[in-house]
Chains A and B, each alone.
Chain A
Amino acid sequence: MLPQSISSRASKLSRRDPTAPLRHIDPVLIGCTVALSILGVIAVYSSTRGPGPDYSKSYLYKQTIFMVIGAGAMVFCSVVDYRKLHDWAWVFYGITTALLVLVVSPLGSEVNGAKSWFSLGPFQMQPAEFSKLSLIGVLAFLLSEFRGDVDIRRLVALVATAALPMALIMLQPDLGETLILLAITMTIMLVGGLPTKYIAVLTIVGLVGVVGALNSPLLADYQRDRLTAFVNPSDTSNAALYNIEQSQQAIANGGITGQGLFDGPQTKLGFVPEQETDFIFTAVAEQFGFIGASTMLFLYGLLCYRIWRIAQVAKDSFGTYLCAGVLAMFAFSAFENVGMAMGIMPVTGIPLLLISAGGSATITALAGLGLVLNVYMRRFQ
């Protein structure tokens, strides 16, 4: 909802100025966002309300609050001209990088063996989520400055800029977020006109990096198990495999029409772990079935298509690169998260944006969509 003062002013402006931003908001993108957000809140409540009859509503309230804050962030990111962010990109990058340093310091709290959170009273903040957006910003800024003219020196600068937050996140360690940063980096560099030979080299380096990370001492045994469970599904000693099996059975249990809202026995009885975050797709799929889950994926796909279109119609390359980054953030998070739940991607803990419970991820996702909307609204200015 836009404040009354802004909308009334917008209507006055629009009559005079056909390029006015508010004349060009994207209803499809906003519609998809709203629909997915509502579905997310329902899914989070369904996964966390417990067996009853005294249903826990704390996650429901928290997630609603995050959605409201996220909506504010989205409005803010769409209203302020994105070209002004151009100048602030490094500042954001600096702040999030500093937070990433602090979170692995004694200030951060350790949950499940990973130091990824700051505890702020009843809430936790996960700086890695915000660093996705700041990395998008700074890489889009750099590549738009380079105007497709990237030599070795500039490549090194780009790689170093991307590698710093990735390395810090690996220290937590959080392989999932690192991989998303890698996907964002590769996407922006691809779209940003990096010479094909560099792209090829980076792809190889990236693959080597992933393999290296797998064998690095930074990874706990359980993390390695999760990843190899995907590669080696017949290893019965692997506990992670149990999660994948239970998750796939829960999804299958949904069938075509689903078990009904709040009525997925496999998820309800706790056979699927982390179902309000990493495995939330199973809750959606078991309760709403193929019809519900594929509708959700379709909305996600439509959202990604809109971002992709906006990247193409952007007024300048900075806008294009921003959109490409946000697209990578959404598309690869969804692919990894949903793919993991269905057993076609390795188990790494990353949220399904807009659906999973979590403040940092939700606010980051909505802020990212605000930026995309921003680019779209100002494509004629």
Chain B
Amino acid sequence: MDTSSPRLRMSILGVVVLGCFLALFARLWYLQVMEAPALAVQATVNRTRTVATEAPRGRIFDAKGRVIVDNRTSLIVSIDRNELKKVKNRDDLIARLADVLTANGAPIKISTIEKRLSDKKADQLQALPIASDVTEEVIHHLSEYAEDFPAVSYERKTVRVYPYGTIASNILGYTGRITAETLKRLEPGTDPDGVEKSYQPDSIIGLAGVESTYEKELRGTPGIELVQVDFKNRPVGTESYQPPKSGNDIQLHIDIEVQIRAEQALVERLNVLRGTAQRDGTIRGAPAGSVVVLDPRDGGVVALASAPSYDPQEFAVGITQERYNQLQDVNGASALIDRSITGQYAPGSTFKLVTAAAALSNGLIDGNSSIYDDGVYRVGNPVQEFTNAGKEKYGNVNVVRGLTVSSDVYFYWLGDRMDGTTLIQDAAAAFGFDKRTGIDLPNESAGYVLTKAEKKALSKKYPDAYPNGDWYTGDNVQLAVGQNVIVVTPLQLARAYAAFANGGTVYQPHVVWKILRPNSTTTDPSDVLRVLEPVVTGTVTLPPDVRGPIASGLEGVTSGSGTGASAFVGFDQQAFRIVGKTGTAQVDGKADTSLFASYGPALSPKWVVAAVMEESGFGSEASGEVARRIYEVIANQALTGAGTATNGSMD
């Protein structure tokens, strides 16, 4: 075959050219028909940027529908510190910014700006808020002369408002900017329409209290704008826009009226006692205390006070390291701890409820079993002496009188008789001690009630702190009066009394009552997304022959010869009978911890009040007084009907 034939050569050329065109067609088909969906998605990603706007968080109502956490818009001026490093006339810029702010109704000193800029706690990657709540004029000026203010930015933000100020700050918590680490692990919730409430690097999240535990409900659905950008990343238009939607509102069991009284009474009593001497001459430090008010019928938390406390507003706008340090030492106690759920205290005589229940229900005694109390109880060989407070002699004492006058000797005797068993520990466990209550607030503590085995294990593990691992009769005697081998949280104490008050049901305490629709009214039942049902975590068996004598003993406490009587002088117990127990727990080298645990009204208990005050002395004179002032509000509500919840239709 002639390979140089023109016809053949032309044919070869034709085939080559045809091949080229077929290759182009094939590739075009592949790109535009087969791969188009995948590549087109990629193209959309390239030419759009997502801009998220934070939505307002849900509001928080108290049990009676009063708004206790709200939102408002704040204009915030920020400086990007990384951008600021690139600015040539840095000092000049800051001086001009201070001038603009000052001239337009938001006075600020250069030194204040410098101080904020040097805050090491703030996230280096985020623009740092310099001034919040600035005027519209400031924003106008900054936007008009934007090129004169490099590294300076401004934004409109919804921030939290607390109409009751610092009230309930320990319950409500505070919000703040999400950290990079949290952003990675936080799972977004969904709004009532099923849209994911995604997080962005500058999202605001709940950092404590209810704001934190109900983050998934409270968070709003961010507004998502798909901005079309050109190849230089400059915005040229909007491809889609989904406006921000407020988060779900929530309603608490908290009664803000009771809460206010609890906080005020607590702080006032601590202030009165601080620096004075208790009965044995020890000076009261009275640095801190807490109060828990529960609804014994369902475990609802009516009030939860802790002193000292802090102003969540300070966190909403950003807090300085200096102020943070201050808050950690107020009269020698941290304001950032909620003692009502994290404080651990020896329950002292308030624990006699449990000891009595253990002895009665196991048949060791009945309501009439009595001993002669000469003020001292002797144990073992060599003899070890345990005395009543002030070596008081009560004569013939049964369990009823033992509780009313708080005879330690009677309970030492019970502790001695139950030595070698775990009857007291078992009863304590039944009442919910020794375990976290499971309240819907973060960082709750558990407390402990040691057994023989646990003490041995502890000593083995921490020989320095617990040099003696043996269990002595003395240990059981001390346990019977709530000392040495037991600590409880005020919340656990309140819950145990609630269980006794309601006949034996141990509830998981709940701060939050209902989840409501965004922008809800608390009066419209259709706004309720769901009601958090009471959770029963255990039961205590309290037959009449057990509950009766104890109830009688506790009823005597607030009147006559009762240890708490002094606190309730003048309180109308005919109308609202209060049942309770004082406690005075010894702390080495310091004034006593004052405790009072109670419920009322006696025949149909609707409230449980427990108060614990550090270094404050005898039970009734500190905690009892605080409880009485709270009962004044409660009794008033109960007797005048002011206690009816506005959203009662869902009950």
Query: A-side interface residues toward B, CB under 8 Å?
Result: 51, 148, 187, 190-191, 193-196, 246, 248-256, 265-266, 269-271, 285, 289-290, 293-294, 297, 300-301, 304, 308, 311-312, 317, 320, 324, 327-328, 331-332, 334-335, 338-339, 342-344
Contact = CB atoms under 8 A, between A and B. Distances in A.
Given A270-B230, A334-B20, 13 more contacts: A51-B236, A249-B46, A252-B43, A255-B32, A256-B33, A269-B47, A271-B231, A293-B32, A294-B25, A297-B28, A320-B6, A334-B24, A335-B21
B3 interface: yes
Contacts of A51: 236
Given A187-B13, A301-B21, A290 B6 contact: no
Interface string B1-37: 0011011011011100100110111011101110110
A290 B33 contact: yes
Nearest to B42: A249
Contact of A269 (B17, B38, B42, B231): B231
Contacts of A343: 27
A324 B13 contact: yes
14 contacts: A196-B3, A248-B31, A252-B40, A255-B36, A256-B33, A271-B231, A294-B29, A297-B25, A300-B21, A304-B17, A320-B6, A320-B10, A327-B17, A335-B24
Given A51-B236, A269-B229, A194 B4 contact: yes
A352 B523 CA distance: 72
Contacts of A293: 28, 32
B228 interface: yes
A195 B427 CA distance: 110
A294 B28 contact: yes
Given A266-B43, A308-B13, A339 B24 contact: yes
Question: Which among B9, B20, B32, B231 has the highest number of chain A CB atoms within 10 Å?
Answer: B32
Contact of B43 (A250, A289, A312): A250
A194 B4 CA distance: 7
B33 to A, nearest CB: 6
B186 interface: no
B232 interface: yes
B47 A308 contact: no
Interface string B321-352: 00000000000000000000000000000000
A231 to B, nearest CB: 17
Contacts of A252: 31-32, 35-36, 38-40, 43
A260 B260 CA distance: 67
A251 B24 CA distance: 13
Contacts of A253: 36, 39-40, 43
Contacts of A271: 43, 46-47, 230-231
Contact of B28 (A191, A251, A320): A251
Nearest to A331: B17
Contacts of B33: 255-256, 290
Interface string B607-630: 000000000000000000000000
A270 B231 contact: yes
B238 to A, nearest CB: 13
A332 B43 CA distance: 29
Q: Which 5 A-B pairs have the closest CB atoms?
A: A252-B39, A249-B43, A290-B32, A335-B20, A270-B231
